[in-house]
Amino acid sequence: MSELLAFDAVTAGYGNAVVLDRLGFSIREGESLAILGRNGVGKTTTIETLMGNTRVSGGRIRWRGRNITHVPAHHRARAGLGWVPQEREVFPSLTVEENLTVVARPGAWKLDRVYGLFPRLRERRGNYGNQLSGGEQQMLAIGRALMTNPQLLLLDEPMEGLAPIVVEELAAAIRRLCEQEGLASIVVEQHPVLALEMTHQAIVLERGTLVYAGPSQTLAADAETLDRLLGVGMRTEEA
Ligand SMILES: Nc1ncnc2c1ncn2[C@@H]1O[C@H](COP(=O)(O)OP(=O)(O)OP(=O)(O)O)[C@@H](O)[C@H]1O
């Protein structure tokens, strides 16, 4: 598998405030990566930096081998980055189906395939965005990103505020995307147990710096490291 994305010692932040400090990691095609860390360590800023929304003052971002460090944000989205923002941002006055079709770009992901992944969206196809539950909105937000036929799906805390039963349904869909559909993804998550179950590789940040990188399964089995870096005991954590 060839390399899809690489952060090479990226230093970035907002204005003069530096948040990411020489951050380095990479993702190969078809690979999923969990970005973990406590509150405020720079997880969302990593995604914002990838999307071109921060000020990069050092290092380099490579996308399929090309240096995109200073490529404007709108060009990056078109290059195949499918972002599902934390706020979900579905259009409230469009139906589910309109929300999906309005962003469609050519490729293998079409309405039927999205409905296959999220049967609930098919059932709600005629409902407006503002008539959906939080879980359905999240499914729609992911479905919208898929309709753009991305090469890398970026999920920022997809489970936030959702009921446990919906979390299970979403986690299964995201796992299917990574394992069966072979779509590369980055998952930012507060719940390490869940994130590690959904991904191949994991990194942990502390104050904008990389403090751990390795296979998700290895980290999931390492209760001591999880506790030390993330303050969670695997046995006691509730997903
Ligand atoms: N738009 C912004 N302007 C200035 N500072 C910001 C901005 N967004 C985030 N920050 C700061 O950057 C730091 C990292 O925030 P970030 O949201 O990336 O962390 P995070 O790991 O995603 O946290 P959380 O898990 O709480 O969402 C924080 O100190 C935050 O206050």
Query: What single string gives the DSSP state of each residue in 135-162?
Result: HHHHHHHHHHHHHT--SEEEEESTTTT-
The verdict on the CB of residue 37 being under 6 Å from ligand 1 is yes
Note the pLDDT of residue 233. 60
Position 76 scores a pLDDT of 83
Task: Count CB-CB contacts under 10 A for residue 98.
Answer: 15
Q: What is the pLDDT of residues 43-100, one digit of tens each?
A: 999 999 999 999 999 999 999 999 999 998 888 877 888 888 766 778 999 999 999 9
Q: How far apart are CA 69 and CA 51, in angstroms?
A: 10
Compute, in angstroms, the gap from residue 85 CA to the centroid of ligand 1. Answer: 14
> Is the distance from CB of 151 to CB of 4 less than 8 angstroms?
yes
In sign, the C-alpha dihedral spanning 163, 202, 62, 30 is negative
Residue 43 Cβ inside 6 Å of ligand 1? The answer reads: yes
Atom of ligand 1 nearest to the CA of 46: 18
Q: What is the predicted pLDDT for the residue at 213?
A: 97
Ligand 1 near 54 CB (within 6 A): no
Higher pLDDT pick, 234 / 117: 117
The Cα–Cα gap between 239 and 234 comes to 10
- Distance (Å, whole) CA 123 – CA 106: 24
Query: What per-residue confidence (pLDDT) applies to 239?
Result: 43
- pLDDT surpassing 60 at residue 237: no
| Residue 78 DSSP one-character state | H
* 179-188, 198-207, 224-233, range with greatest mean pLDDT: 198-207
In eight-state DSSP terms, residue 131 is G
Place of tokens 């490729």: 107
Q: What is the pLDDT of residue 238?
A: 46
Q: How far is the CA of 45 from the centre of ligand 1 (A)?
A: 6
Domain limits, the chain: 1-80+184-239
Of the chain, the percentage scoring pLDDT greater than 70 comes to 96
ipTM of the complex: 0.95
Centre of ligand 1 from the C-alpha of residue 124, in Å? 34
In ligand 1, which atom is closest to the CA atom of 37? Answer: 21
The DSSP string of 13-66 is EETTEEEEEEEEEEEETT-EEEEE-STTSSHHHHHHHHHT-SEEEEEEEEETTE
Q: Which of 43, 190, 206 to mutate to test the pocket of ligand 1 (most atoms within 8 A of CB)?
A: 43
The 10s digit of each residue's pLDDT in 121-177 is 999 999 999 999 999 999 999 999 999 999 999 999 888 888 888 898 899 999 898
**What is the distance, to the nearest Å, from the Cα of residue 28 to the centroid of all Cα atoms in its chain?**
15
Name the pTM for this structure.
0.91
CB of 76 within 8 A of CB of 31?
Answer: no
Q: Cα(13) to centroid of ligand 1, in Å? A: 9
User: Does ligand 1 lie within 6 Å of residue 41's CB atom?
Assistant: yes
* Pocket of ligand 1 contains residue 44 by CB under 6 Å: yes
For atom 4 of ligand 1, which residue has the closest CA?
A: 14
- Per-chain mean pLDDT for the chain: 91
Q: What is the distance, to the nearest Å, from the Cα of residue 99 to the centroid of all Cα atoms in its chain?
A: 20
User: Is residue 1 predicted with pLDDT exceeding 80?
Assistant: no
Which of 3.40.640.10, 3.40.50.300, 3.30.465.10, 1.25.40.10 is the CATH number of 1-80+184-239? 3.40.50.300
Q: Ligand 1 mean position to 19 CA, how many Å?
A: 8
Highest mean pLDDT: which of 31-45, 65-79, 174-188? Answer: 31-45
